[in-house]
Structure 1
Amino acid sequence: MTEKLATRTEVPDELKWNLKDLYSSDDAFEQAAAAFKEKLKSFGEHEGHVADSAESLYKTFSDGVALDNELKRLYVYCMTRDHSDTTNPQGTKLLTEGQGLFSAFGAATAFLNVEVTRITSDEFKKLLSDEPRLEEYKRYIEVNFLRNRDHILPTEQEKILAKSDTVFNSSENIYSNLNDADIKFGEVKDENGDIVELTPARYSEFMNSTNRGLRKQVSENFKTAYKNLQHTFAATLTAHMNGVIVKNQLHNFKTAREGELFQNEIPESVYDTLVTTVHNHLDGQHRFMQLRKDVMGLNQMYGYDTRVPLVGGSKLKFTFSESKSIVLDALKILGDDYVTGLKHEFSEGWIDAAENVGKYSGGYQIDVYGVHPYVLLNWSDNYDGLTTLAHESGHAMQSYLTDQFQAVQNTDYPIFTAEIASTTNENLLMAYMLDKYADNKAMKAYLLQTSIETFIGTVNTQAMYAEFEHQCYETVEDGEPLTADRLGELYGELDRQYDGPALSTTSKMSPSWAGIPHFYTNYYVYQYATSMAISTILADRIYRKVPGALEQYKAFLKAGSSQAPIDLIKQAGVDVTSGQYLDDAFAVLDKRIAELKELLGK
């Protein structure tokens, strides 16, 4: 009998989001959306008068920030309704409506860029002096408007561009429907001999199996599914990247990367330093791959062999309830206020845990100021599931603490700092688990292996994704076609460079790029790599109780976007403008590989 994936209605309520904290029903949402549209019309009264006086500038931003937060509340409701089951037409309808609200907001506020950027530095100083309440919006105005002076269009053109957001977003929507609802991975016979439907969550579980035949079949099913749709995925990704390029060109950026990194105040040199430094340290990944091959006794090792535990019988499994208890214990080192936030998250409907038919793949956290964060998981009873819970809880707690200590306009911290909070939790969890199983040789070996693979998967692999993404954008910007074959060649070549000679391949081209949703969040993935390197250092200091380390880190969590990301990280004790932090992080990796090699007698 085939075990089928649960439908949304079959998932217990305690494993679902509590969306009533946002709106009591779809009807209540519709009423709020209608009221929001009326407020947008009223906001238009500020057009032409933004900088008439210090008071008018203050009122404009006070109203605008409040509307922005209300929009987020509306949109998160739409998004979570859709992502909980992308096969439900009501959720799709609501998401489309939410995207329409975003476009309407962009059009209604497009005049701000033009009018605010006309304000000179001397005029802005005078306005701040005339209206002390403007001080609370000072950084918000400087970062989001004044620094954009060279990157805006005339008001009417900005309005037209804002109204086009639904067009620019359509590729992401198509990808989501294709990847989360339409694609099918077939059925496989599991370790118990039962025929089960193959899903992304089960892929994660089965690739850890000691049954090589099962791993091979699962791998082939996934590759076949993506290969069968590779041309559609290629067209969708190309359309998305073309849209990103056009929007950045219109705003006077030379390249898409320049424009996307500008938004988060990150120099492009940080991106290039990451890729170059990771390439300089690929020998560590190559040594680990060779160690794996030797321990497994394989003449040829393939991609489906790279996740199985090297110590048989040491695979850890936890229920969702058990994982919550472990995370609470592992992270108590971060203080009572942090633990209090976790308890709210774990018991008050902040998490949508179970996998179900049509559910959005992967995991994420999104915050609504004045409500609470929302976390999406697709739960699996393995160490990956436990780690993902700790990871997404890191995001949730950064939002939870930031919301307590910052005004709403300073809470929307960039991804660059967000991923530090999540991966610091991963590193603290690993340190806790290594201590817990210090006297269990097999378990310690398993955890060391997991730690090494997490580092490689987050620093090296995400750097590879970043390198691939940038190559794709450069290809499109050069006017060359981004075909499925071209994408497969680019991805396959990078795969071989990063994995090294110990890993065999059956084809020079790989369709795996098609299954990575983060390419639709522009120039995003590199921040996983930088953040894991940074958090490796921070977590080590916190766990060893280096004086001041915890206090610096907690101040960082509470700071939101009140300072530039590089400055916040520097105050936490890491200089991201230097490649030294990456060298230091790779030194930790090398030490763990050596320790695992000795433990395994190799």
Structure 2
Amino acid sequence: MSTQLLERKDVDERLTWDLSGIFKTEKEYEEAVEEAQKLAKELEEKFKGKLKTPQMINSCLDRLKKLVQLMNLAGSYAYLAVSVDQANTENLQRRAKFSNIASDIESRLSFIESEIIKLDEEIINQAIEESKENANYLRKIIRKKKHALHPEVEKALSALSSVLEAPYHIYNMAKLADMDFGTFRVDGKEYPLSFALFEGKWEYENDTKIRRAAFEAFSKKLREYQHTIAAVYQMQVQKEKTIATLRKFDSVIDSLLFPQEIDRELYDRQIDLIMEHLAPHMRKFAKLLQKIHGLDEMTFADLKLEVDPAFEPEITIEEAKKYIEEGLSVLGEDYREMIRRAFEERWIDFPQNKGKSTGAFCSTPYGAHPFILINWTDRMREVFVLSHELGHAGHFYLAHQYQNIFDSRPSLYFIEAPSTMNELLMANYLMKNTQDKRMRRWVLSTLISRTYYHNFVTHLLEAAYQREVYRIIDKGGSVQAPTLNKIKKEVLEKFWGDAVKINEGAELTWMRQPHYYMGLYPYTYSAGLTIATQVNKRFLEEGQKALEDWKEVLKVGGTKTPVELAKMAGVDITTERPLLDTIGYIGSIIDEIIKLTDELQK
């Protein structure tokens, strides 16, 4: 991996995504936005004040679908261009202009839900009976009835949508455009530093002096921005509290769980059981890393170390394609064809460059193919990262074929199940195709240090921290940097116990993730992976039937609740058993890694 980040204009275009998959030209984009504005005006003129019969309701919603799709495509186009270059003024202006247009359209059309929600349920139910296409949308409106506000208030909130989303955009600008990490020095040698370099390279660095020096320099820069980012975060959670109160929810947490269609019990269980039962297994894993690397003490800055850093193969993008195609071929030829298209038609943006979003994500605009952002490091672990994002792509690739735009997106609770399922399938493939103990240990340790650590530890600890923040906000309090640092440190100390020293800078980890601006997202990673682990277990025990059932689950999109989706896949998440089984499975993998380590050292 190169330590010198290029400007976006200097990267190899063949390795970038091709946004012409959404709009072939800028003119086409502008025409789509104009058409959306025209449709919004027509909907307002034709239906405002007239949504009183099942026929008018369905006629309105049928037209609304087209508008929502246009806005989804245009919004994705504007957002994706910015995500790979936060410093590009033209892209920023396009997104800002679109955001204002979107706010205006949302405000104009807020009457649709407001008028329907005031109707007698009998009329809405009749509309449901007359249109299968609109049924799920209307059922969700009925569910929202008791939390609906006066139409003029709903209109005002819609008009302010771009302003209400400002905390997320401010956070990203500070993180990706303004923070200059410069360089750090070790033994007289200078090393470049950035968000991407730290999270993609230096965190995994085998040299302890370099790794810890990078962590110290990285933390020092974060600390300079802690009060600004804390103020932005306070704005975010106060906004959520205000809206929750307006809508008569008992708490922010209840308000944010409502659209996920999940009970508070499942949310709390996910956090509490992992904090209690997984912690001992992960402490054991941390001690193993300390022993392997000969560290006097295990610190937070050392947790991303590899079990066998000298072994992890370097891999080209072309080689990764072959691994992923073969590993995920168990999902069928149609799925394999999607993977081929993803590589050949430039659905994926690989290069690291200045101003590009960190980490990886998959965007799935309805009416176009998915788009995957990744920061490629030429390491074998990227096979798992890319498989994960292709899990999202495959999910919506199927859901979009079988569901309309109202019904294609499932609850956030379920959203990470297909992605993490792909990581497990890749691990199955790699384990099946090697008898080499060192390779087997690498696969298993990657499952722990990447798949399970990322989803069951990193994001779960975010969730535990986030819950404490909302508890303060629900009691009428506020959060500033010292409070956030204290909460984060206490969560880390509780989980890692005396196995890991929570060194200075670890408390600033809350500044690194954008998930806190996306509602109750962090805990859903472990929720999704719990479902995926149980489905994979069923696949290993029952064979292909489990995967056929799984693909049927993916096709139904958002037409079922998370409990119903999991049930379709053969998993009962109304009990604690799947989660406890998954935690036990993680423990068994760690025990197998320890056993293989002992055997390899003999």
Aligned residue in 2 for 1:447:
443
Return the letter of the residue paired with 2:441.
A
CA distance in 2, matches of 1:508, 1:498: 17
CA distance in 1, matches of 2:398, 2:233: 36
Return the letter of the residue paired with 1:452.
I
Q: Name which of structure 1's ranges 36-45 and 312-321 shifts more when overlaid on structure 2.
A: 312-321
- How big is each residue's C-alpha offset from its partner over 1:417-453, in whole Å with a ceiling of 9 and x where there is no partner? 221000000111112222233x222222222222122
CA distance in 1, matches of 2:186, 2:541: 42
How much has 1:477 moved relative to structure 2? 2.7
CA distance in 1, matches of 2:14, 2:541: 37
Tell me if structure 2 keeps the 8 A contact 1:350–1:372. yes
1:456 aligns with 2:426: no
CA distance in 2, matches of 1:335, 1:253: 44
Aligned residue in 2 for 1:257:
253
SS at 1:417's partner residue? coil
1:429 aligns with 2:426: yes
1:242 aligns with 2:238: yes
How much has 1:202 moved relative to structure 2? 5.0
CA distance in 2, matches of 1:322, 1:97: 41
Aligned residue in 1 for 2:30:
30
- Give unpaired runs (5+ residues) of structure 2: none
Matches within 5 A, 1:352-501: 352-437=349-434, 439-453=435-449, 454-501=451-498
Q: Name which of structure 1's ranges 201-210 and 282-291 shifts more when overlaid on structure 2.
A: 201-210
How much has 1:192 moved relative to structure 2? 13
How much has 1:29 moved relative to structure 2? 2.1
1:211 aligns with 2:211: no
CA pair 574-156 structure 1, distance change in 2 beyond 3 A: same
CA distance in 2, matches of 1:475, 1:44: 41
Aligned residue in 1 for 2:196:
200
How much has 1:55 moved relative to structure 2? 2.1
Tell me if structure 2 keeps the 8 A contact 1:5–1:197. no
Return the letter of the residue paired with 1:504.
K
How much has 1:71 moved relative to structure 2? 0.6
Aligned residue in 2 for 1:119:
119
How much has 1:500 moved relative to structure 2? 2.4
Tell me if structure 1 keeps the 8 A contact 2:32–2:70. no
Return the letter of the residue paired with 1:449.
S
SS at 1:379's partner residue? coil
Return the letter of the residue paired with 1:421.
P
1:163 aligns with 2:162: no
Return the letter of the residue paired with 1:236.
V
Q: Name which of structure 1's ranges 499-508 and 95-104 shifts more when overlaid on structure 2.
A: 499-508
CA distance in 2, matches of 1:420, 1:168: 29
Tell me if structure 1 keeps the 8 A contact 2:411–2:561. no
SS at 1:58's partner residue? helix
1:91 aligns with 2:91: yes
Q: What's the C-alpha RMSD, in Å, of the aligned pairs? A: 2.1
CA pair 545-44 structure 1, distance change in 2 beyond 3 A: same
Matches within 5 A, 1:48-197: 48-129=48-129, 132=130, 134-143=131-140, 145-188=141-184, 195-197=191-193
CA distance in 1, matches of 2:4, 2:543: 50
Aligned length: 596
- How big is each residue's C-alpha offset from its partner over 1:501-557, in whole Å with a ceiling of 9 and x where there is no partner? 121233497111101111111111110011111111212322444362111101011
CA distance in 2, matches of 1:507, 1:304: 10
Q: Name which of structure 1's ranges 189-198 and 105-114 shifts more when overlaid on structure 2.
A: 189-198
Of 270, 275, 281 in structure 1, the residue corresponding to residue 271 of structure 2 is: 275
CA pair 46-572 structure 1, distance change in 2 beyond 3 A: farther
Tell me if structure 2 keeps the 8 A contact 1:191–1:214. no
SS at 2:406's partner residue? helix
CA distance in 1, matches of 2:554, 2:291: 42
Return the letter of the residue paired with 1:54.
P
Tell me if structure 1 keeps the 8 A contact 2:364–2:396. yes
Tell me if structure 2 keeps the 8 A contact 1:363–1:377. yes
How much has 1:102 moved relative to structure 2? 2.5
CA distance in 1, matches of 2:280, 2:266: 22
CA distance in 1, matches of 2:103, 2:419: 30
Aligned residue in 2 for 1:568:
565
Return the letter of the residue paired with 2:54.
A
How much has 1:598 moved relative to structure 2? 1.4
- How big is each residue's C-alpha offset from its partner over 1:202-223, in whole Å with a ceiling of 9 and x where there is no partner? 5322322221111112211211
Return the letter of the residue paired with 1:362.
G
SS at 1:160's partner residue? helix
Tell me if structure 1 keeps the 8 A contact 2:261–2:411. no
CA distance in 1, matches of 2:259, 2:295: 47
SS at 1:501's partner residue? helix
- How big is each residue's C-alpha offset from its partner over 1:19-54, in whole Å with a ceiling of 9 and x where there is no partner? 122223334322322232121111102444554333
CA pair 601-367 structure 1, distance change in 2 beyond 3 A: same
1:541 aligns with 2:528: no
Matches within 5 A, 1:283-322: 283-311=280-308, 313-322=310-319
CA distance in 2, matches of 1:512, 1:127: 49
Return the letter of the residue paired with 1:255.
S
Q: Name which of structure 1's ranges 405-414 and 266-275 shifts more when overlaid on structure 2.
A: 405-414
How much has 1:106 moved relative to structure 2? 1.7
- Give unpaired runs (5+ residues) of structure 1: none
